[in-house]
Structures are given as structure tokens and as C-alpha cells.
Amino acid sequence: MEKTLIILKPDSVQRRLTGKIISRFEEKGFQTIGLKMTRISETMARKHYAAHQGKDFFEPLIRYTISAPVIVLALKGRNAIEVVRKMMGATFGSRSEPGTIRGDYALSNRFNLIHGSDSPASAEKEIGIFFTKDELFEYAPTDLPWIYDMSAGEII
């Protein structure tokens, strides 16, 4: 099982799409192990997007990120990072396929609704930025045998 961080960005919150987006992950079968609404500080935004520092879109990205509250989620599931990123769609909403979150709800290239970790190392780092250990919950969902084929006693 893999963990990933999701940020429902300011445009998701402002457009009241958070419930629809979260329900997609729940319906897919991902386990929510952390969830909260927060406001990302400028310091935190600069830390989170440090890889893009110096690029022409960096400062507008920081302004956008800190402009309104966000919802952060820690999700757990089989191949969570890969599957979540497919569900999100291409980075630019205008280029995202219908059926993806961005393809269904985004047109802007900057206001693209959602962030998802891109690797296990990023997920671990990002989850650590947004959640304390006390804010993450490990529990055994009763529906796992129905989400994953566990007919052999383990996830297949």
C-alpha cells in the first residue's frame, strides 16, 4: 500500500468542488488517512514549490497557492501515486482528458484545481509538511476485500 498527498487548491475550494473531488477518490477505493482545511503560508508554499523557483510561473503560482484556503488529504491505496495522478489528468486543464478531474472541471493552465505527489519520496516529504503524526490515522477499512481481490488471503 502506498501513500500520497493531495492538495485541493484554492480554486477547488472557491468553486465548491471539494466534495465532488474527494468523492472520486473514495469511490475509487482509496482510504483517507488524513484530511484538513488549512491556509498555506507563503513560507510553506515556497518550500513546497521550491523545485520551480526561478521559473517565470513561480511567483504567480505562490500568489495563487496562498490566495484562499485549501483542503489537504493523505490517501492510502495500492499504486496510489500513479492512479491518483491518472485521475487528476494532465497538468493544464485545457489539455486534460474528459473523465479526469482536471478534464472535467478545469480550463486554466494555472488554476488547475489539484496537486498530487509525484513519487513515494515526494509523498513522504509532502505528507510530513502538511500533517503531524497525530493527524494521520491508520485503521483497517472493512471494505478492503471488496476493493482488492483478497481471495487468496492477500491483495492480488
With 80 as the cut, is the pLDDT of residue 152 above it? no
* 1 exposure class (CB count in 10 Å sphere: 0-12, 13-18, 19+): exposed
Mean per-residue pLDDT, 63-78: 97
115 has catalytic annotation: yes
With 80 as the cut, is the pLDDT of residue 153 above it? no
Active-site position among 17, 80, 115, 117: 115
Mean pLDDT of the chain: 94
Mean per-residue pLDDT, 124-135: 95
Residue 99 φ/ψ region, left for φ over 0, alpha for ψ in the -120 to 50 degree band, beta for the rest: left
- Range in 70-74, 105-109, 150-154 with the lowest mean pLDDT: 150-154
- Range in 16-25, 118-127, 139-148 with the lowest mean pLDDT: 139-148
What CATH topology corresponds to 2-134+142-147?
Alpha-Beta Plaits (3.30.70)
pTM assigned to the model? 0.92
At residue 149, the pLDDT reads: 81
Mean per-residue pLDDT, 112-118: 96
